[in-house]
Structure 1
Amino acid sequence: MPSRQYVLTFSCPDKPGIVNAVSGHLFGHGANILESQQYSDPETERFFMRTVFALVESGASFEALRETFAVPAGRFAMQWTMRDRGDRRRVLLMASKFDHCLADVLYRWRIGELPMEIVAIVSNHPRDTYRHLDFEGIPFHHLPVTPGHKAEQEAQLWTLIEDTRTELVVLARYMQVLSNALTERLAGRCINIHHSFLPSFKGARPYHSAHARGVKLIGATAHFVTADLDEGPIIEQDTQRVSHHDTPADLIRIGRDIERRVLAQALRCWLDDRLLLNGQRTVVFSV
């Protein structure tokens, strides 16, 4: 079996013949399907599919296959991507004072668990804030947010995103609210980790709010960023049981572990093209 693999993902209006058209096109261009997942949403009447394939016929060309796939894609009005699975996606990480999510992502990246190219780390705090973290080989940018100058800071950030050809921005506990203009530019390619099981306890101090309500479960949520604060399509969530003995400080400590694993799982799904937008929701194909 060829070691080089490719992945096709798409969504389109649901109608008969989609799977046949896709599999027939792949077969006709020398491809063998290795895995395939699909979902038909009865509410939105849209069809979602993720297919991993390899080229097994002599002379088969990925470039030709991708170029000619525009024909069935156009016939079914698909929103689609097709890429070499081995290509490293370009990711920009952002963090503020709390660095546990940033540290976890860096660790998983360095051991090969999150195969990506980290193009930059951006923070509104200076480099010394993270002096215990290993940033070797990763450009660090201190972009402070000062009153009355947020637009200038975001302009610098957007220039950096464009210059580095960033594909995904990850807010790894970046505790600044992005402007509507920036979130619109980053639609579908900016993931945030929120320290709450959304839609409960939005805002900046969710663990304190949860403690005040005496909750017995706390959680974390990874979601796409939109102009509506903490309202973007949810990608991944997890929870852990707590009790009346736990103080707000205990909830924050317990929550750090949940936040780390939820963000890592969301990022892993995005990197492997397992994540498709479905309006205000997401379709996440299992690993």
Structure 2
Amino acid sequence: MAFAKRGAQVLGVIANGSFKSSRFAGRSLDSRPFTSLAHGVHVFHCPDDVGIVAKLSDCIASRGGNILGADVFVPENENVFYSRSEFIFDPIKWPRGQMDEDFLQLSKKFNAMKSVVRVPILDPKYKIAVLVSKQGHCLVDLLHGWQDGRLPVEITCVISNHNRGPNTHVMRFLERHGIPYHYLQTTKENQREEEMLELVQNTDFLVLARYMQVLSGKFLRSYGKDIINIHHGLLPSFKGGNPSKQAFDAGVKLIGATSHFVTEELDAGPIIEQMVERVSHRDNLHSFVQKSENLEKQCLSKAIKSYCELRVLPYEKNKTVVF
């Protein structure tokens, strides 16, 4: 069985030191100034085969890199392989362009469905646009996360079907940081999707921070990149307007939030992150809603961070692998 053979290979690789290559032209890695090294992340998704881990390790070690950690997932009885590796390397010894070429050759060798490498200090940050409706708690949290450096993204613009006043906290923040705010008034007949596509064409992915409009299949196909959504975890029991009050009146004891990729099937895309919290008879409606909104903020922020750190990979038709 390929997985069993790989296990023996992994042990052999570790025993021979390939996982911890520490040589740069005869000098130990630890003897070099740490500031001269860069941190890289590589994710790999391909058909299962013997020797993938060894080749991944050799690709990094042969260029003087040092693997800090590697996660591997091989589903039982399925011919598919997933991995995520973190490593440090000397950019002078292993130029960024050469790194892309090396991993490309590895990708071709194993017929990979996905092979992505990122070097955060060298590569540009992901460009995102944030779509939001009236509720601003998730948007505000994302803006502060971006400002504090917790979210490794560049926010190109905010798009909303809600017209915010010029003296609101959000608008002052956006103006201060030079982030455009686009108000697109939508109707049932016109969702302004063509204008939206023009505004987001140079982004890497989109974030729906409580955007209460349904994006059409045409929009999703035209955009062609990932879209991350957040919603409360009260579905499907409490649909429609004011779901928190519905749930509060029903006396629920567990609330949550779900972040997922957007697909044409409403709120049914592959799940990235979920969080839950208990509520009790001591909660009033205000504290109930506050707890729910806090979960939404945390869940969305974590999903975006995981995505940017290459921790999220597609699995089967409607699942994800999250390392």
Match of residue 20 from structure 1: 54
**Contact in 1 for aligned 2:130/2:206 (Cα 8 Å):** yes
CA distance in 2, matches of 1:129, 1:217: 38
CA distance in 2, matches of 1:223, 1:145: 24
Per-residue deviation, residues 245-284 of structure 1 (Å, max 9, x unmatched):
5455543222111111111111111121111121311111
Relative to the length of structure 1, the TM-score reads 0.89
SS of 2:263 mapped into structure 1: coil
Match of residue 99 from structure 1: 136
- The size of the alignment, in residue pairs, is 281
Match of residue 147 from structure 1: 188
SS of 1:23 mapped into structure 2: helix
Which 5+ residue runs of structure 2 have no aligned equivalent? Answer: 1-33
Q: State yes or no: 1:217 paired with 2:251.
A: no
SS of 1:10 mapped into structure 2: strand
Per-residue deviation, residues 138-192 of structure 1 (Å, max 9, x unmatched):
1111112123112xx1111111111xx2011010111111111223345661101
Which has the larger displacement, 12-21 or 90-99? 12-21
CA distance in 1, matches of 2:237, 2:41: 35
CA distance in 1, matches of 2:118, 2:152: 15
CA RMSD in angstroms comes to 2.3
Q: 1:43 to 1:213 in 2, by over 3 A?
A: farther
Q: 1:46 to 1:125 in 2, by over 3 A?
A: same
Match of residue 167 from structure 1: 204
Match of residue 243 from structure 1: 280
Which has the larger displacement, 43-52 or 22-31? 43-52
Per-residue deviation, residues 78-135 of structure 1 (Å, max 9, x unmatched):
1111122233111111111000010011111111111211111111112318721211
1:258 corresponds to which of 295, 313, 317: 295
**Contact in 1 for aligned 2:37/2:89 (Cα 8 Å):** no
Match of residue 119 from structure 2: 84
Greater RCO, 1 or 2 (C-alpha within 8 Å, sep 6+)? 1
Q: State yes or no: 1:282 paired with 2:316.
A: no
**Contact in 2 for aligned 1:221/1:236 (Cα 8 Å):** yes
Larger radius of gyration between Structure 1 and Structure 2: 2
CA distance in 1, matches of 2:136, 2:42: 34
Q: State yes or no: 1:192 paired with 2:225.
A: no
Determine which structure has the larger helix proportion and give its number: 2
Q: State yes or no: 1:114 paired with 2:151.
A: yes
CA distance in 2, matches of 1:148, 1:215: 37
Q: 1:57 to 1:234 in 2, by over 3 A?
A: closer
**Contact in 2 for aligned 1:8/1:52 (Cα 8 Å):** yes
CA distance in 2, matches of 1:117, 1:51: 24
Relative to the length of structure 2, the TM-score reads 0.80
Counting aligned pairs with the same residue, the percent is: 37
Q: 1:205 to 1:25 in 2, by over 3 A?
A: same
CA distance in 2, matches of 1:178, 1:129: 27
